[in-house]
Structure 1
Amino acid sequence: MKTPPPNNRPQIGGVWWPALVAAAVKLLLIPSYRSTDFEVHRHWLALTHSLPLSQWYSDATSEWTLDYPPFFAYFEKFLSFFASKVDPTMADVHRGLNYASPPAILFQRLSVILSDVVLVYASHRLTKGGNFGCAQRLLIWCLVIWSPGLLIVDHMHFQYNGFLLGILLLSISFLEEGRDLIGGFVFAVLLCFKHLFAVAAPVYFVYLFRHYCNGGLVKGFARLVVMGSAVLAVFAAAYGPFWYYGQIQQVLHRMFPFGRGLCHAYWAPNFWVFYIILDKCLAFSLVKLGFDIQAPTASFTGGLVGDSSPFAVLPTITPLITFVTVILAISPCLVKAWRNPQPKMVSKWISYAYTCGFLFGWHVHEKASLHFVIPLAATSLRSAEDARHYFYLSIVSCYSLFPLLFEAQEYPIKVVLLLLHSLVMFFGFSSIFPRSISTTATAVKGGRDNNNKQETPTFYIGWFGKFYLLGLLCIEIWGQFLHRIVFGDRFPFLPLMMISIYSAIGMMYSWIWQLRMISLSH
């Protein structure tokens, strides 16, 4: 009697145990450090609860004005119904700023934890199809749900990236199944929650136009109308009320504040780091040579959000320049999507687009690396080379977020989170891609067997990876211990600058690797 084959279909219950472990860790992090983003979202919650919709995007009660798309404002409005019951003061925009009572802290922390249900379900759905085994699905769930970057940004620093990335993964899962209409619809919903995800919109447009709107002129046009109608319906639901009140211009002004400058307060580790450093080096060199040039200051590393765009020597970068640069960087991916729109490549194309936006975009936040690190987790098991790339990238991404938590009591937490994540990846990838040798031919010579052996693809950390990761360790030791010994209180910006530059090297390597893999794909 033959033993029936094991049921390899993913069960929804299987994803909940890593989710529960993550929830337990998130509950322990409730008393940890909170950034000003905590007050930002508390104020938005109070603003949407206390004021009529027509005033949401014009109110200036606080400096933390509402600058997310309408669906996120509606989300804050939804939370405010419950917040007003827990602590009425936290939902009252007229009762002062920087309010953080114990009930308010607990409510907002729990709201982030509960909203991560979307990410958990999306992780399950993304691994529902394909040829994933049980161990592979479990590893992907752990990489996504236990992401140290998400824990740092959402559950310590405080934001709501988890459920937004969950919506992105849901959209990708539908596209990979060939359900293009609902995949495009879900992406439109995501854009109305957070417009920064629009970097991948060109990929969605080209892919859906070629893959969904095909089948001849009449059928293709009909599908284009259906898809366009679905997307327009989403945007009408989001922006329609503000159009009615004549607030559209104000909404767009708040959503696209180009006056904030090229770089964020802490340099995101992207291409513009090298541009800024080159400008500073050229300026100081020319000053030493006697040229009448204004020597650059450390404004880029001052830690303030503002216009930090002027350069001493190199041309000033404008939002238009960054936009064109991002489009040019994405173009190889768009060409591939146009010529051969394959559902299996969607996740890699979308991740590559977000990588381009991170590296070449305007006023990029370091937290935006999550936009491509999380989706790439789902493709990390396609080959040993994908696994190696993800191993390096996720470590660099997490380490680049360390400056967000600058208080001493959080230092052990972020280090432990990164180390545990690295161990999960190392042992997980090693088990999926073990070093094994298969014999292809055997010959007997001189009384001994000579085997022609061929190694199967395996996960390993090569010399480049070991060298680069050792460099990360050296950068951290310098910033935490040696900088004070050598320089004392001088050059306070240097440790942050070193983290940004060194992490940017890793990010550029990831971009080049992704570009190469996309170019070689068929």
Structure 2
Amino acid sequence: MGRRRKESPTAGEVEEERPPYFFGAASTSMVRILAVSLFALLVRVLVALGPYSGRRRPPMYGDYEAQRHWMEITIHTPPSEWYRNTSSNDLAYWGLDYPPLTAYQSYVHGRLFLQPFVPDSVALFLSRGFESSKSKLLMRWTVLSSDLLVFFPAALCFVFIYFGRRIRRGRGDGSVTHEWLLAMILLNPCLILIDHGHFQYNCISLGFMIGAVAAILSGRELLGSFLFCLSLNHKQMSAYYAPAFFAHLLGKCLRRHNPILSVMKLAIVVLATFVLMWWPYLYSLDAAREVLSRLAPFERGIYEDYVANFWCSTSTLIKWKMRFTVKSLKLFSLCATVISFLPSTVQQIKSPSNHGFLHALLNSSFSFYLFSYQVHEKSILLPLIPASLLALEEPTAFGWLTYHALFSMFPLLRRDGLTLQYGALLSLFGLIYRLPIEVHGRRRPRIPWKLQTVMALSSFSSALLHLVYLIVRPPRRYPFLFEALIMALCFAQFVILAIYSNIRQWTLRDASPGFPSEKKKI
């Protein structure tokens, strides 16, 4: 009496909702997943053997020196001085310009790895430009360990959650495709070359973001909010994703019986996380303002170097920096960015869905990359990560974006002496990307011939630009002509992909492939 009768499974569904990777044939799947992870680790190690940003190029060197210098500053000065110009901390020389979690990370890495083994590498005032084989090994290890502790677990969690739900809905067991999707995330050539070649720690902020997405897709929204706040507090560029997170979570809260309580829970988690991260700077309003001023470098101009976004790509026609004031450019970029991501956020508030959320992340980050103020060429990583999470749903768009994202960074990577690594990882990605996979139980769909023609023309143009950039000297009057052509070509592809992704988000079904219907959960 009172017991519900167990319904028999419908055709195509499995009888038991068991975790897909831990029973029966799961041992084989786990071995393959471990093999993909170890191979991704090996690729990172091989890239790390090469050069890095600013190697032997005084007086400012490059990003490698910036990260080393932040370790030096955080070790030898109190937190209250990390973002302040003092006799011990010259902000003109690679002053900290990332949120507090990056500073804490620098402190931990410096204390645990560099100071005990190579103290000269973080000696205050004396270590500027310090380069040795041992310090390079330890610096590379800090990035590699960060990748293993944050990015790898986040990618694995996403894949497990994604395919776990697909199995329970009877959409295929993922035996062919889950390793491919994991490889697309872990073997992203752009992230590997920037973090383990050029030298940065994007794996931490992006790993927290992927972890936040995985948590939200599994129904753990408070955990997801906490992880996304960690991402924001590591690199402010994670704000590229903020409209998508806000819209998706707000849309879900509005559909619940007590939306105010749901919103308050999320607000408490966000507020508590920020208070925890910013605690050393909350003793006065001026101290908090000092940090905030370092996070918004408006004095550098609307763009820096060559980046495949609207402002840089159109600068050959309109000299934005010469014709307009900084105040005007800030207003232009703000309006363009908001107008660009607004349709995506409206769709998620109106009809939140898991698949739509992933598209919203891509569309929001594209909006910031294309139109926001002070965008770097490395910022293309932010649209690329949600695109990799959508690789199984949108394989053609993902592959096309990855190729042009990497191409847009080619001038930067060539300056770093990473041309060999660039070519090797591009070839490796192409080989793995073209492996035969199944999409929702069917072979990968064929690309229409009209689209193939457009892609072929773009591929031919990019191949030609590769050769020209490597072997031909630009005219003296236009020394950056080839960089401008590369950026213009990549910008055009990014605009097309952004429009396509926005259209896809608005035309998705409520119960999107790979995830259960949101209406049943809320």
Q: Is the 8 A contact 2:247 2:348 kept in 1?
A: yes
1:361-380 maps to which residues of 2 (within 5 A)? 361-380=372-391
Q: What is the distance in 1 between the residues matched to 2:489 and 2:426?
A: 17
Are positions 1:124 and 2:156 aligned together?
Answer: yes
* Paired residue type of 1:475: L
Aligned counterparts of 2:501 and 2:458: Cα–Cα separation in 1:
18
The one-letter amino acid paired with 2:391 is: S
Distance 1:408 1:332 in 2: 39
Q: Is the 8 A contact 2:69 2:128 kept in 1?
A: yes
The 2-side partners of 1:215 and 1:173 are apart by: 21
- The answer as to 2:323 corresponding to 1:311 is yes
Counterpart contact for 1:122–1:170, Cα < 8 Å: yes
Number of residue pairs the alignment of both structures matches? 462
Partner of 1:458: 446
The equivalent of 1:520 in structure 2 is: 507
Query: Percent identity at matched positions?
Result: 23
Decide whether the 8 Å contact of 1:479 with 1:495 is kept in 2.
yes
Which position in structure 1 is the counterpart of 2:202? 161
Partner of residue 180, structure 1 = 221
Partner residue in 1 for 2:190: 149
Q: Give the secondary structure class of the aligned counterpart of 1:376.
A: helix
* Structure-2 residue corresponding to 1:115: 146
Matches within 5 A, 1:194-209: 194-209=235-250
Matched, 1:401 2:431: no
CA distance in 1: counterparts of 2:132 and 2:262, whole angstroms:
52
For residues 300-449 of structure 1, the aligned pairs below 5 Å read 309-311=321-323, 318-382=329-393, 386-407=394-415, 410-428=418-436, 432=439
Q: Secondary structure at the match of 1:413?
A: helix
Match of 1:16 among 34, 39, 43: 34
The verdict on how the C-alpha distance between 1:30 and 1:275 changes in structure 2, with shifts beyond 3 A counting, is closer
Sort the Cα spacing of 1:409 and 1:91 in 2 relative to 1 into closer, same or farther, 3 A.
Answer: closer
1:87 corresponding residue in structure 2:
118
Counterpart of 1:440 in structure 2 is none
Tell me which residue corresponds to 1:271: 310
For 1:64, the equivalent position in structure 2 comes to 94
Give yes or no for the alignment of 1:472 onto 2:462: yes
Question: Which blocks of at least 5 consecutive residues in structure 1 are unaligned?
Answer: 281-307, 437-455
Equivalence for 1:47: 73
**Residue matched to 1:73:** 103
Using the TM superposition, give the Cα deviation of residue 409 of structure 1 relative to its aligned residue in structure 2, in angstroms: 5.4
Q: Which runs of 5+ in 2 are unaligned?
A: 1-13, 23-29, 54-61, 167-172, 510-522
In structure 2, the CA distance between the partners of 1:163 and 1:134, relative to structure 1 (3 Å rule), is farther
- Higher RCO (CA-CA < 8 Å; seq separation 6+): 2
Partners of 2:256 and 2:327 lie apart in 1 by 47
**Compared CA separation, residues 459 and 89, structure 1 to 2 (3 A):** same
Once the two structures are TM-superposed, the CA of residue 257 in structure 1 deviates from its matched residue by 1.3
Is the 8 Å Cα contact of residues 176 and 346 (structure 1) preserved in structure 2? Answer: no
CA shift in 2, pair 1:433/1:178, >3 Å = closer
CA contact (8 A) 1:433 1:458 kept: no
Distance 1:459 1:380, change over 3 A: farther
Q: Matches of 1:101 and 1:69 in 2, distance apart?
A: 28
SS of equivalent to 1:249: helix
- Distance between the aligned counterparts of 2:416 and 2:71, measured in 1? 30
Q: Match for 2:48 among 22, 30, 38?
A: 30
CA distance in 1: counterparts of 2:427 and 2:387, whole angstroms = 20
* Matched-pair contact (CA < 8 Å) for 2:156–2:182: yes
Mapped to 2, the partners of 1:435 and 1:25 lie a distance apart of 31
Q: Deviations over 1:37-82 (max 9, x none)?
A: 0000000011110001110001443510001101111111111211
Query: Offset at 1:277?
Result: 2.2
Classify 1:81/1:366 alpha carbon distance in 2 versus 1 (closer, same or farther; 3 Å).
same
For 1:260 and 1:377, how far apart are their aligned partners in 2?
A: 31
SS at match of 1:38: helix
Structure 1 residues 359 and 10: alpha-carbon distance in aligned structure 2, compared to 1, 3 A threshold: farther
Q: 1:110 to 1:412 in 2, by over 3 A?
A: same
Task: Give the TM-score normalised by the residue count of structure 2.
Answer: 0.83
Deviation for aligned residue 1:433? 8.4
Asked if 2 retains the 8 angstrom alpha-carbon contact of 1:143 and 1:377, the reply is yes
Report the counterpart of residue 491 of structure 2 in structure 1. Answer: 504
Aligned CA-pair RMSD: 2.6
- Which one of 299, 324, 336 corresponds to residue 259 of structure 1? 299
2:373 match: secondary structure: coil
The Cα offsets for residues 290-327 of structure 1, whole Å up to 9 and x where unpaired, read as xxxxxxxxxxxxxxxxxx82238x99951222122111
| Amino acid paired to 1:264 | E
Tell whether the 8 Å contact from 2:205 to 2:232 is kept in structure 1 after alignment: no
Counterpart residue number, 2:253? 212
Structure 1 CA distance, aligned partners of 2:227 and 2:104?
17
Question: What's the CA shift for 1:13?
Answer: 5.8
Give the whole-Å Cα distance in 2 for the aligned partners of 1:238 and 1:316: 30
Q: 2:146 & 2:181 partners in 1: Cα distance?
A: 20
Range 420-429 or range 224-233, more displaced: 420-429
After TM superposition, give the deviation of residue 96 of structure 1 in Å. Answer: 3.5
For 1:363 and 1:375, the matched residues in 2 are separated by 21
Partner amino acid, structure 2, of 1:90: S
In 2: Cα distance, 1:242 partner to 1:408 partner = 36
Change (3 A) 1:211 1:57: same
Sort the Cα spacing of 1:358 and 1:343 in 2 relative to 1 into closer, same or farther, 3 A: same
**Contact persistence 2:198–2:416 (CA under 8 A):** no
Report the counterpart of residue 134 of structure 2 in structure 1.
Answer: 103
CA distance in 2, matches of 1:501, 1:240: 43
Give the counterpart letter for 1:24 in structure 2.
L
Structure with the greater alpha carbon radius of gyration:
1
